[in-house]
Amino acid sequence: MSMNQRGFSLLEVLAAFVILALVGTALFRLFSGALGNATLADEYSRATLYAESRLAAVSVEAPMKESTLQGNSDDGRYAWTALIAQYAPPGSTPDLDNAASAMAVRLWKLAVTVTWPGAPGSERSVALSTVRIAVKE
């Protein structure tokens, strides 16, 4: 080999391709994982918005009595279950319970759970709850 020959040897080119392939594979995995996380975050955001709308609708549409309601979204993607139950504040005593039963209003706990299909064989869900006050019937 003379001193004025320039260029890369076949071994150097192969080593560069191996390094490029390893870096490319790592970047591909990183971006596909980030895309999967973004999709999952979007699913949870949509389900949370749907759960909020169902919680608001149940508090207006349904009579305040102990009950369980169920349904599906218009597009069939989400299934929801709403639970209406009397609410007893934490640390409540029998005296407070007696005073509350004599009042003209009552506290109700509304809880909504929204479920949708996740990975094959699994289900994802979001649960929200609130407390409402209503006149006794």
Say which DSSP state 59 is in.
Answer: H
Domain locations in the chain? 10-135
Q: What is the pLDDT of residue 79?
A: 94
pLDDT of residue 114: 96
pLDDT of residue 109: 93
Going residue by residue through the chain, which has 137 residues, state the pLDDT in tens, using 9 for 90 and above: 556 667 778 888 899 999 999 998 888 888 877 877 888 889 899 999 999 999 999 888 878 888 899 999 988 889 999 999 988 878 777 777 777 777 778 888 999 999 999 878 889 999 999 998 888 76
Tokens of 88: 């007893």
DSSP letter assigned to residue 89: -
Widest Cα–Cα separation across the chain? 106
133 close to 86: Cβ distance less than 8 angstroms = no
